[in-house]
A and B are shown apart, each in its own frame.
Chain A
Amino acid sequence: MGQTASITQNKLVFSRVAAIAAAVFCVPESSLGPRSSPDNIESWDSLHHLSLVLALEQEFNVQFSPEEIEQLLSMELTTALLEEKLKGCGVPDAG
C-alpha cells in the first residue's frame, strides 16, 4: 500500500519535472527519460541548468543549495533529490 503510493508519487514528480525540463530545454516532453542528462540533451548547458533550477524552485517551492545544484545531473537524480526534499512536507498541488 505504502509502496504503491510512493511509486505513484514518484511518477507524478517525474512527470512534473519532465514538463518543466521540456519547457526549459525546448525539447518535446516525450524525448525526456530518467537517463536524460547534459550528456545527451544538447541544450542542457550550464545556463540552462540554472534556468532549470530556478524553474524547479518556483514550481515545487523549494530551494537548492549549491551542493545540491551540482548533483542534479540527470532527470533521475533530479527527481530523486526533489522527492527527498518534498518528503514530510507533502507534494504541493500541481499548477
Chain B
Amino acid sequence: MLQTKELRAKIERLLEESSWAEAHACLGGLWRREGMAAAANYVVSCYDRLRPHLHLTKCRVALLRSMTLEPLVPMLRGAALVSGIDPLIQIGQFNAYVQEMLDSGSALYAFNPDIVIVAVQTRDIVPEIWEAYADLSESEVRAIVDRVRKTVSGLLRTFRDQSNASVIIHNFEKPLASDGVMGAQGRNGQLATIDRLNAELGELCSQYRGLYILDYDSLVGHHGRARWHDEGKWLTMRMPFATDSLSSLVAEWLKFIHPLTGVTCKVLAIDLDNTLWDGVLGEVGLKGIQVGSEYPGAFYRALQRAILDLYRRGILLAVCSKNNSDEALAALQNHPGMLLRPEHFAAMRINWQDKAQNLHEIASELNIGTDAIAFLDDNPVERERVRLEMPEVKVIDLPRRPQGFVCALRECPFFERLALSAEDRQHTRLYGEQRQRAELANKLGTLEDFFTSLDQEVVIAPVTPETLTRVAQLTQKTNQYNVTTRRYTEQQIEDFASRPGWNVYSVQVKDRFGDNGIVGVMVTRTEHQICEIDTFLLSCRVLGRTVETAMLGFLAETSKAEGALFLRGRFIPTRRNEPARELYSSHSFRAIDGEDGETIWSLNLGEANISCPEWIRLHGTDRVHHAEQARV
C-alpha cells in the first residue's frame, strides 16, 4: 500500500506522462482511502487537467438547502469525478429553497439543472413538531400536517410545471423523542406524526414524474442518530452534521446521481472461492466449502441473498473464477446451502485464464461494454490486477472479513435504479432465451432462413404512461445501436410526446422464443415537411435481426402520410456506437452534410421507399391515425 504522499507523487507523475486512464484509476484509489474534505480540492484540481482526455458524464446539479452545505460541494465533486461523473454544481441561497422553486426568474431556473437536491430538515419545515411537540393539541398537529402537505405539494407542482429536472428531496428526520418512550406509542406521538408526514411526502412524490425521496431519516438512523449530528456546528455555523457524516451524505446523493446520469453497471461478475462460499473448492471439496445458515457460511449466504436481490433488479450475473469448471458447476448446482444456482448466471468463465481476459469475454458474450461490468472478488491481488488492466471496470472493494461483504455490495451506487420496468424483472430469463436463439442460428444455413425461423413480430406504438419508464430508460442505457445517444428523463420524453409535430415511439419485438419486451425507441420531429429523427435506438438484445429496417420502414410510411417530403437522420459518433454507423447509408439515405465527425443523412420520400422485411410482421400505430396498420 502506497502512502498518501507517494500516491500523490505517483498521480503527478502519471499526469505529467499523459497517462490519463491510470491517473484516473489512481485518483479513485486516493479517494477510497481518504475521501474527505482535505483531499477533495486536490482531486477536483487534478480533474481540471484530466477532463479533456477522459470520457466523463456531465450533469448539472442544483443544491437547494436550509443549512450550510458549502464544504460538501468539493466532496460531492470529488466523489462523482472518480466514478466517471463530472457535475457542475450550483448551490442555492441559504434557506431560500421556497422562493427559488416558486420564482421562475430565480437562479435555480436560470441554471437549468438536470438534478435538483432539496436538502431540508424537519426542524426548518416544521419547527413546532421538532421542538415543541408537547405544546400541540391533536387538532393542531392535524392542521400542521395538512399545512405541510399543501405547501410541499404547491412547491413540487410549481417546479414540475417549469422544469424537467429530476428532484431528490430529503424526507423528514426524527428527533430524539421529546415525549420519551410515549413518543412511539399510539398514533399521536411525535414519532408517529413524523412518519405520517413522510407518508404524505411519498404520496405527493408519486404523483409526479422524476420526483424521488431520499430517506434521510433512515440514513441518519443507519449511521447512528447520536453520531450524525453536531449541535455546536449547527448553532454556530448552521451545519448540522458531525464531520464523520459528511461522506455518508455525499455517498447517498451519488446513489441517485448514478442512475439519473446513466453511469451504472449492467453486469456483476463474481468470483467463487471465498466470495460466494468459504473455502477453496479445489482444496477442500464440495463438502468442505461453507455456505448455509451457520457460522461462517451464513455470511456467504447473506452475500448470495444480496446478489440475488440485484438479479431481481435486472442486473445480469456472471461467474468469473479460477477453478475446475466441472467441480465448480457441481457445487453451484448441488450444494444444499447455495441460493445462487447456474440458471441465475447469464455467462460463466470458470477456468485458469487471467480474469481480465475472462471479463473481456463475458462482455462480448453478453454484448455489453466492459465499462458496464462490476467485479466482485475477495482477493485484493485480483482486484488490483483488474483495476490496472481494465480501469473502466467498476471493481468493488470487499473488506477482509466476510461480515462486511453485504454492506460493501449494497452500498455500491452502480447498481442503483430509480424505477423498474417489466423488462428489468425478466432480464435474465430473456438472456437465457438469447442463448437458445444463438444456438438456433448455428444450426440454420442462410441468414434468411434464420430470420424466417425466428418468426418475429414488431409492434410500434406511441409512448404511453405504461411504457414511459422503459422508453426513458432505453435512452439512458443504450450505447451501441444508438445514432445520437441523447439521454432523456421520463419528464423530457413525456414533454416531447405532448408537443405538436413530435412523435415518440416504443418498439416491441416478439419471436418464437418469447417476448423481448420494449427494445427500441424512436423520437421524431416534423417541421417544414422534413421529418427529423432525433433518436433511433435498439437494445443489443435484438441487433442483427433487421428490426431497424422495419422501424425505418414504419417511419418512412407514417411521415409520408403526415405530409413530410424528407426523412432526415443524424449520426453522432461516440466511443461505443460503431454498430449503428451504417444505419442510414445501408437504407438508401444520402449524406448531405456533417461536421465534427457528425453526419446528416436524408431520404427523399418521393423517390425512395423502405419496405419492411418479409420475415417480420409489423404492427404500427401512429399518433395521428390511431389506426392499427397490420401487415402480414
Residues of A that sit less than 8 Å from B by CB = 19-20, 23-24, 26, 46-47, 50-51, 54-55, 57-59, 63, 65-66, 69, 94-95
Cβ of B246: which chain A residues have Cβ within 8 Å of it?
54
Q: Is the CB of B71 within 8 A of A54?
A: yes
CA distance A57 to B5 in the complex (A): 19
In the bound complex, do residue B236 and residue A95 qualify as a contact, i.e. CB atoms below 8 Å apart? no
Q: Which of B37, B235, B244 touches A55 (beta carbons < 8 Å)?
A: B37
Q: What sequence of 0s and 1s flags, for each residue 63-105 of chain B, a beta carbon within 8 Å of any chain A beta carbon?
A: 0000010110010000000000000000000000000000000
Residue contact A50 to B243, C-beta cutoff 8 Å: no
Given A51-B70, A66-B236, decide whether A94 and B38 contact each other with a Cβ distance below 8 A: no
Most chain A CB neighbours (cut-off 10 Å) among B33, B38, B39, B40: B38
Given A65-B232, A95-B3: A50 and B41 within 8 A (CB)?
no
Q: Which residue of A lies closest to B3 (CB)?
A: A95
Q: Which residues of B contact A50 (CB under 8 A)?
A: 68, 70-71, 233, 237, 239
Contact B38 A59 (CB under 8 A): yes
Residues B233-253 near A (CB distance < 8 A): 233, 235-237, 239, 242-244, 246
The answer, yes or no, to whether B4 is at the interface (CB within 8 Å) is: yes
Q: Which residues of A contact B3 (CB under 8 A)?
A: 94-95
Complex interface residues of chain B between 28 and 76 (CB less than 8 A to chain A)? 33-34, 36-42, 45, 68, 70-71, 74
Q: How far is the CB of A47 from chain B (nearest CB, A)?
A: 5
Contacts A50-B68, A58-B243 given; indicate if A23 touches B232 (C-beta within 8 A).
no
Flag if B36 contacts A58 (CB, 8 Å).
yes
A50 to B239 CA separation, bound complex (whole angstroms): 9
Which A residues are in CB contact (< 8 Å) with B71? 47, 50-51, 54
Specify the chain A residue showing the minimal Cβ separation from B36.
A58
Main secondary structure of the interface of B (DSSP, over half): helix
Say yes or no: A23-B235 contact (C-beta < 8 A), given A51-B70, A54-B243, A95-B4.
no
Neighbour of A95 across the interface among B5, B37, B230, CB < 8 A: B5
Query: Which partner residue on chain A sits nearest B238 by CB separation?
Result: A50
Give chain B residues whose Cβ lies under 8 Å from the Cβ of A63. Answer: 230, 242-243
- Docked CA distance A7–B539 (Å): 66
Q: Mark B259-296, 1 if CB is under 8 A from A, else 0.
A: 00000000000000000000000000000000000000
A19 / chain B contacts, CB cutoff of 8 Å: 38
Map CB proximity to A onto B362-376 as digits: 1 under 8 Å, 0 otherwise: 000000000000000
In the complex, which residues of chain B have a beta carbon less than 8 angstroms from the beta carbon of A46? 237
17 sample A-B contacts, Cβ–Cβ < 8 Å, listed by A number: A19-B38, A23-B38, A24-B37, A24-B41, A46-B237, A47-B68, A50-B68, A50-B239, A51-B37, A51-B74, A54-B37, A54-B246, A55-B38, A58-B244, A66-B236, A94-B3, A95-B34
Known: A46-B237, A58-B38, A95-B5. 12 other contacts (CB 8 A): A23-B39, A23-B40, A23-B41, A24-B38, A50-B68, A50-B239, A51-B70, A55-B36, A69-B236, A94-B3, A95-B33, A95-B34
Give the chain A neighbours of B4 by CB distance below 8 A. 94-95
B232: nearest chain-A partner, CB-CB: A66
The residues of B that contact A58 with a CB separation of less than 8 Å are 36-38, 243-244
In the assembled complex, which residues on chain A have CB atoms less than 8 Å from the CB atom of B232? 65-66
Which A residues are CB-close (under 8 A) to B236? 66, 69
Q: How far is the CB of B604 from chain A (nearest CB, A)?
A: 58
Bound-complex Cα distance A69 to B237 (A): 10
Across the interface, B70 reaches (CB within 8 A) one of A23, A47, A55, A69, namely A47
Whole-angstrom distance between the alpha carbons of A30 and B244 in the complex?
29
Residues of chain B lying within 8 A (CB to CB) of residue A66: 232-233, 235-236
Q: Which 5 A-B pairs have the closest CB atoms?
A: A95-B4, A55-B38, A55-B37, A57-B243, A51-B71
Mask of B195-237 contacts with A, CB within 8 angstroms, 1/0: 0000000000000000000000000000000000010110111
Alpha-carbon separation in the docked complex, A66 to B235 (Å): 9
User: How far is A58 from B38 in the complex, measured between Cα atoms in Å?
Assistant: 8
Distance in Å: Cβ of A70 to nearest Cβ of chain B? 8
**Cross-chain contact B45 with A26 (CB below 8 angstroms):** yes
User: Chain A residues with Cβ under 8 A from B40's Cβ?
Assistant: 23
List, in ascending order, chain A residues with CB within 8 A of B244's CB.
Answer: 58
| Min distance, Cβ B301 to any Cβ of chain A, angstroms | 36
Q: If A47-B68, A65-B232 touch, does A20 touch B243 (CB 8 Å cutoff)?
A: no
Name the CB-closest residue of B to A49: B237
Q: How far is the CA of A1 from the CA of B39 in the complex (A)?
A: 35
- Proximity string of chain B (334-378) to chain A, C-beta cutoff 8 Å, 1 when within and 0 when not: 000000000000000000000000000000000000000000000
Q: Which residues of A contact B39 (CB under 8 A)?
A: 23
CA distance A59 to B237 in the complex (A): 20
> What are the interface flags for B537-556 relative to A under an 8 Å C-beta threshold, 1 for contact and 0 otherwise?
00000000000000000000
